[in-house]
Structure 1
Amino acid sequence: MQNTGKITRDSLMTLEAYSKYRKDNKPAIMAHRKLRSVRLGEFINLQFESETTIRYQIQEMLRIEKVFEEDGILQEIEAYAPLMPDGSNWKGTLMLEYPDVNERKRELARLIGVEDHMFVEVEGHARVYAIADEDMDRENDEKTSAVHFVRFELDPAMCAAVKAGAGVKLGCDHTNYPAHTTIAAETLASLASDLR
């Protein structure tokens, strides 16, 4: 799977080519996904997306659904390509992971708006709060969703600081889930590669 900076129909593999590629390369892709996954407290996991993770997601959906016609391929690209960072931001899939169904139901009711309380803080700069769920609203008056899509928009000074080695915290200041963590150096190195 070759990264090109833009996912197009022509830059994706055929189902047959992907099937062969997948056998040899799935462990490396899973390691990349794990590297870009940051746990915040016990129940929040933020998967920072990249061209590699989004290409993999599209190829997997095409494989699982056996899609080979152009319209179907373009629909998958349209659904997932907006989640790819584009040089001045980090984009991610925010997952609230409560294994127990009763606890999940209770906590999703307590965590309405949590996606708007997620932030990154580049050392020496102000917090940047997530812009969440730009494609559709994922909560109602009774509960939030267990999955949200978030974008952290960084200014040029923040991008330069990250590329120069500044530390970055990921946090949440929701009343019912206050937490923060320093993003590990190896994860931050991968995230820095997303920035221009």
Structure 2
Amino acid sequence: MRAVQRAEIVDYVTYNEQRAQHREAALAAKRLRRVVVADCLTFLFENHETIRYQIQEMMRVEQIVRERDILHEIETYNELLGQGGDIGVTVLIGFDDPAERDLKLARWQALPQHLYLVGADGRRIRAAWDPRQVSERRLSSVQYLKFAVQGAAPVACGSTSPAKSSARRPLPRRSARPWTPTSALSRRTLRRGGSQSTRGRPTRRAGPRRGSRGRGRAARRSERSP
């Protein structure tokens, strides 16, 4: 998957002036790449367009201007893209009732190991994730996952317990073609999903960026609207 380059990112003031058109394009890309499983798990298959949008939105929310901080955001979010035949997927856990959501997040700490994609041969491909996304008390409502599909398009995604005993959503069948934004996903797979601007920043092994004024605010926003 093509990574986002520095030359593609504009300052947050310029972006704010052009935000309406950028947002429309990004949400159109997300609609083709979003699949809901078990009514509460939204699988978003990331690509160049969705990641660039997240970088620009985070810069806008936190008013990031320092060059090193911009580069840090680009590097951090580019890690969500699949490389070497992998697919990067963001899973959003959502419930309308905040109390139910808090209860599930506390109980579903093992959820990432129950998520999977299905290959054309029927094989279940399990997720890889950063264990720091799961604390001792609860699961983050936004999970950043990688699936080693070896460059092939999956045909379904799903979850075993604890998100219900078993739930699976098929993706439209296609001939064996390289993964593209529309080759494995279509509007037929959609049920619902948020259109939030930021999902919170993914955890990086190098640690959080210094001077992040809005990190807590953005993280709380992603918790409220997964």
TM bucket normalised to smaller: 0.7 to 0.9
Q: Which residue of 2 aligns with 1:144?
A: 139
Residue 124 of structure 1, CA deviation: 1.5
Stretches of structure 1 lacking an aligned partner (at least 5 in a row)? none
Q: Which residue of 1 aligns with 2:34?
A: 37
Bigger fraction of residues in helix: 1
Which of residues 157, 161, 174 in structure 2 aligns to 1:174? 161
**Is the aligned partner of 1:183 residue 2:171?**
yes
CA contact (8 A) 1:118 1:129 kept: yes
Q: CA offsets, 1:119-160, max 9 Å, x none?
A: 11112241100102x2x512234432211111111135xx1x
Stretches of structure 2 lacking an aligned partner (at least 5 in a row)? 185-226
- TM-score computed with the length of structure 1 as normaliser: 0.79
Residue 29 of structure 1, CA deviation: 1.5
Q: Which residue of 2 aligns with 1:91?
A: 88
SS for the counterpart of 2:132 is: coil
Bigger fraction of residues in strand: 1
Query: 1 CA distance for matches of 2:180 and 2:171?
Result: 10
| 1:1-196 alignment, distance < 5 Å | 5-86=2-83, 88-132=85-129, 134=130, 136-155=131-150, 159=152, 162=153, 168-177=155-164, 178-184=166-172, 190=181, 192=183
SS for the counterpart of 1:22 is: helix
SS for the counterpart of 2:92 is: strand
* Structure 1 outlier segments of 4+, above 3 Å: 14-17
Q: Identity across aligned pairs (percent)?
A: 26
Query: 2 CA distance for matches of 1:24 and 1:141?
Result: 41
Query: 2 CA distance for matches of 1:85 and 1:98?
Result: 28
Query: 2 CA distance for matches of 1:12 and 1:115?
Result: 31
Which letter does structure 2 place at the counterpart of 1:93?
A: T
Q: CA offsets, 1:4-58, max 9 Å, x none?
A: 9232323322335433442333212111112111100111111111111011111
- How many pairs are equivalent? 179
Residue 77 of structure 1, CA deviation: 1.2
CA contact (8 A) 1:90 1:191 kept: no
User: How well do the aligned residues superpose, as a CA RMSD in angstroms?
Assistant: 2.5
Which letter does structure 2 place at the counterpart of 1:50?
A: N
